[in-house]
């Protein structure tokens, strides 16, 4: 090895030994360091290795899903006290035969999801404990396993469609892969396990970034109602109420009513009544029954829809608004230029393949809102850095034109 390479290797090894606990590093510094490491890897990795990494990348999701089906993560969760299990112990607590179990465990160990403290035993790593049944992180795997099945048909879809950008919400790669004409949300109603995984996944998307909209929007200054009977905020397409519940927790004393709306199959999935929040089953394409609310709020709802349907939703909201109502759109906003993380870039393709929709840039959001009869008052953005697992969230405050 050349002297320079020896120095680089030693610098990286020293840096690793001196690294403070990851939780104590602020997000901006963490992302900077990870960015530097990504560049180092890209510069070092021989193209055949990069190629093989791409070719084998789908295996992790597939095998984790199989391991969930066999009950491997649940077996360790139940055996919490012992922490380690032998192959025979694990076999007695899981579905399927021992030979398959051994091969699945070998892959999961290669991925560092489990370790082998001895030849006889397996020990779960930090990720394994997040994959047992019922946890949102486990449901994330189920959710993306479904989408991996769509992505596997992307090439055939575009061959059949002459590589045209999908624009019909009921003729996306999703419908092609599932041999259906149903919109994804209609299809979910008939697939309760996938619906549950979807609802659960939505409850965790933003927490990963750690930045809530009400921490960078001046709520107390902007959202005032004279009468406590007036609706202060309605969260349209708010899922099982995770976002509006966080808002209620942050501002418990703010006068006014809080309303959550979503499709019946989502509202019916709310495990217990939400404190201080009225939950309504309602389709946002129908006339909005909550009139004159102070704020109509939608988080990552319109990114599921091409412009045609997004404009219909905006019209239904505009019809219900009072003179002093505001529209608050909380959405991923990828930068128009510059580099996106692979996850942020893929999220746009995810909207495309599932809904024929897209992640809009700031310019596209403003254009959509103006076309929908709104004037954008301000685009609010968080001051501190998120983890950029997806893309930076922005809050579009708009009023009828
Ligand atoms: C991407 S999720 C976002 C959920 C939530 N706002 C969040 O940020 O976590 C989109 C939501 O829109 C809901 N949705 C889809 N079609 C709808 C409709 N016609 N009326 C009301 N909600 C709808 C879905 O059920 C889902 O909960």
Domains of the chain: 58-130 (1.10.10.10), 136-202 (no CATH), 213-400 (3.40.50.150)
Q: Which of 262, 288, 314, 357 best tests ligand 1's pocket when mutated (most atoms within 8 Å of CB)?
A: 262
Does ligand 1 come within 6 angstroms of the Cβ of 136? no
Report d(CA 385, CA 365) in Å as an integer: 22
Report d(CA 305, CA 169) in Å as an integer: 7
Written as tens digits, the pLDDT of the chain (401 aa) is: 677 888 888 888 888 888 888 778 877 788 788 888 888 998 999 999 999 999 999 999 999 999 999 999 999 988 666 689 999 999 999 999 999 999 999 999 999 999 999 998 999 999 999 999 999 999 999 999 999 999 999 999 999 999 999 999 999 999 999 999 999 999 999 999 999 999 999 887 654 456 789 989 999 999 999 999 999 999 999 999 999 999 999 999 999 999 999 999 999 999 999 999 999 999 999 999 999 999 999 999 999 999 999 999 999 999 999 999 999 999 988 887 767 888 888 999 999 999 999 999 999 999 999 999 999 999 998 876 555 555 667 999 999 99
CA-proximal residue: ligand 1, atom 13 (nearest): 237
Cα 43 to ligand 1 centroid, rounded to whole Å: 41
* Non-local CB neighbours of 208 within 8 Å, separated by 6+ positions: 387, 389, 390
Cα 262 to ligand 1 centroid, rounded to whole Å: 6
> Left if phi > 0, otherwise alpha if psi is -120 to 50, otherwise beta: which for 222?
alpha
Does ligand 1 come within 6 angstroms of the Cβ of 354? no
Q: Considering only CA atoms, which of 148, 127, 126, 134 is closest in space to residue 62?
A: 148
CA-proximal residue: ligand 1, atom 19 (nearest): 283
Cα 255 to ligand 1 centroid, rounded to whole Å: 26
Report d(CA 121, CA 86) in Å as an integer: 4
Q: How far is CA 1 from CA 6, 10, 37, 216, in A?
A: 6, 12, 20, 50
* Non-local CB neighbours of 201 within 8 Å, separated by 6+ positions: 136, 139, 140, 143
Report d(CA 374, CA 301) in Å as an integer: 17
Residue 388 sits at the vertex; the CA angle it makes with 154 and 376, to the nearest 5 degrees, is 90
Q: Is the pTM of this model over 0.85?
A: yes
Does ligand 1 come within 6 angstroms of the Cβ of 392? no
Report d(CA 239, CA 265) in Å as an integer: 10
Does ligand 1 come within 6 angstroms of the Cβ of 91? no
pLDDT of residue 385: 58
pLDDT of residue 210: 60
Handedness of CA 331, 336, 341, 344 (dihedral sign): positive
Cα 210 to ligand 1 centroid, rounded to whole Å: 21
Does ligand 1 come within 6 angstroms of the Cβ of 238? yes
pLDDT of residue 222: 97
pLDDT of residue 208: 46
């Amino acid at each position: 090895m050349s002297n320079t390479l020896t120095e680089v290797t030693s610098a990286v090894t020293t840096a690793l030994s001196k690294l403070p606990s990851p939780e104590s590093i602020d997000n901006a510094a963490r992302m900077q360091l990870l960015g530097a490491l990504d560049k180092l890897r890209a510069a070092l990795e021989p193209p055949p290795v990069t190629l093989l990494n791409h070719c084998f990348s789908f295996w992790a999701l597939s095998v984790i899903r199989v391991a969930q089906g066999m009950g491997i993560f649940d077996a360790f969760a139940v055996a919490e006290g012992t922490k380690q299990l032998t192959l025979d112990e694990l076999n007695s607590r899981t579905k399927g035969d021992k030979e398959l179990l051994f091969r699945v465990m070998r892959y999961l160990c290669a991925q560092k999801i489990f370790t082998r403290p001895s030849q006889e035993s397996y020990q779960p790593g930090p990720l394994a404990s997040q994959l047992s049944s019922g946890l949102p992180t486990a449901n994330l795997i189920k959710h993306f396993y479904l989408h991996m099945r769509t992505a596997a048909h992307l090439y055939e879809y575009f061959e059949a469609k002459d590589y045209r950008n999908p624009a019909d919400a009921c003729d996306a790669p999703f419908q092609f892969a599932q041999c259906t004409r149903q919109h994804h949300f209609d299809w979910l109603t008939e697939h309760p396990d996938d619906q549950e995984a979807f609802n659960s996944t939505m409850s965790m998307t933003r927490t990963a970034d750690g930045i809530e909209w009400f921490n960078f929007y001046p709520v107390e200054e902007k959202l005032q109602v004279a009468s406590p009977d007036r609706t202060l905020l309605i969260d349209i397409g708010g899922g099982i109420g995770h976002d509006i519940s966080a808002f209620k927790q942050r501002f418990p004393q703010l006068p006014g009513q809080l309303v959550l709306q979503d499709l019946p199959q989502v509202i019916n999935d709310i495990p217990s009544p939400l404190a201080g929040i009225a939950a309504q089953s309602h389709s946002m394409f129908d006339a909005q029954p909550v009139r004159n609310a102070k704020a109509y709020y939608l988080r990552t709802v319109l990114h599921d829809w091409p412009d045609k349907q997004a404009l219909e939703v905006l019209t239904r909201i505009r019809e219900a608004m009072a003179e002093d109502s505001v529209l608050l759109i909380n959405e991923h906003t990828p930068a128009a230029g510059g580099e996106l993380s692979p996850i942020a870039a893929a999220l746009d393709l995810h909207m495309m393949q599932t809904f024929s929709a897209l992640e809009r840039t700031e310019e596209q959001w403003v254009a959509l809102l103006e076309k929908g009869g709104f004037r954008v008052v301000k685009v609010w953005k968080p001051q501190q850095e998120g983890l950029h697992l997806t893309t930076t969230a922005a809050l579009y405050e708009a009023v009828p034109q």
